[in-house]
Amino acid sequence: MRRFISAIAFAAMLVVVLGAAGCGQRFDRDAAASAPAPADLAADALSALEDAGSAHFVADVRSKSPGGALGGPALALHFEGDASRNALDAEGSISFGFGTLSGRILVGDHDLFIQFMDEWYGEHHGLVDAVAEARKEQDGKLWNELATPDGLRRNFGLLFAGEVSEGAPIDGVATWRFEGRINPEGIITLAERFGEPTPPDEAEMIRKAAPGSKFVLVVGQEDHLPRRLELSVHASSEDLGKTQASGYADIVSGEDFTSTLVLSDFGKRVEIDPPADFKPLDELFSQLFSGFE
């Protein structure tokens, strides 16, 4: 269930960095009458991204968990860079409440490199390998149902419930704005369809968290390119009750979870310059997480 819920939260973020080539349009005040259906808006946006190429992105994730009377540690991730189907070059930081770690990440077709404390670490496992693994999981069913235009068109309504309205223009581009919230019964249905029945206590927690959730998708009216995505859940322990379910509870049982992705500068060519020397990536993980064993 954890993998399924994570896919919901981050599937959009995974596919948007495929990029697209944008252009400006005149803002048309009469266009609201022809607003697309939510599923069509999302599917057409993904299709436009797949067709085009690359984008500059700014991604932020923030989470805060009660973790007892004194409160749990806050988690904040920030990444900014350029991405395409074949390359990712981004700088970012991760804050755990007790400190901040900063670095740079380079990803190619078959390579992954992370710079931390002026030292490079890496392994030969990149975007092509990651996509192949995602498609292989559960015989590719989850990928085909959530990360393809046709699949997203079929299933968007099971993930989110909401409406499309005319959005504010972004850099002179007229937009559509979908705003809604998590559809708990649809999520439970999809989980069962993929062979992962939701335990009763976890299903109840999803239902209790849904009213405090919010999903926003902002898309260009003419070029169908996504400009902004937001996913947030605001639910206290009192809202969710005392049930300690696994998976989804880890994400929403806190006071605040917010993720945003902003896209711009579409159609830019993205290339990486791999470091000449690097240490195994396992050494970095051992250095960072040895104290948690």
* Structural domain contains residue 291: no
Which segments within 69-117 are labelled E, that is strand?
74-84, 88-95, 100-107, 112-116
* Structural domain contains residue 164: yes
Q: What pLDDT score does 77 carry?
A: 93
- Tally of CB atoms within 10 A around 34: 10
Which segments within the chain are labelled E, that is strand?
54-64, 74-84, 88-95, 100-107, 112-116, 119-123, 160-170, 173-182, 213-220, 226-233, 256-264, 279-280
Q: What pLDDT score does 250 carry?
A: 46
* Structural domain contains residue 104: yes
Q: What pLDDT score does 116 carry?
A: 92
Does residue 42 register a pLDDT over 70?
yes
Largest CA-CA distance found in the chain, in angstroms, rounded? 59
Does residue 289 register a pLDDT over 70?
no
* Structural domain contains residue 52: yes
What global pTM score does this model have? 0.79
Closest to 187 measured CA to CA, from 251, 123, 261, 126? 251
- Banded model confidence at residue 138, pLDDT cuts 50, 70, 90: low
* Structural domain contains residue 292: no
Minimum mean pLDDT among 13-17, 62-66, 207-211: which range? 13-17
CATH number (domain holding residue 175): 2.50.20.20
Task: State which residues form the domain around 250.
Answer: 2-286
Q: What pLDDT score does 134 carry?
A: 67
Average pLDDT, the chain: 79
- Banded model confidence at residue 126, pLDDT cuts 50, 70, 90: confident
Report percent pLDDT > 90 for the chain: 46
Q: What pLDDT score does 133 carry?
A: 74
The whole-angstrom separation of Cα 202 and Cα 196 is: 12
Does residue 179 register a pLDDT over 50?
yes
The whole-angstrom separation of Cα 198 and Cα 51 is: 35
Cβ 178 vs Cβ 184: under 8 Å? no
Domain count, the chain: 1
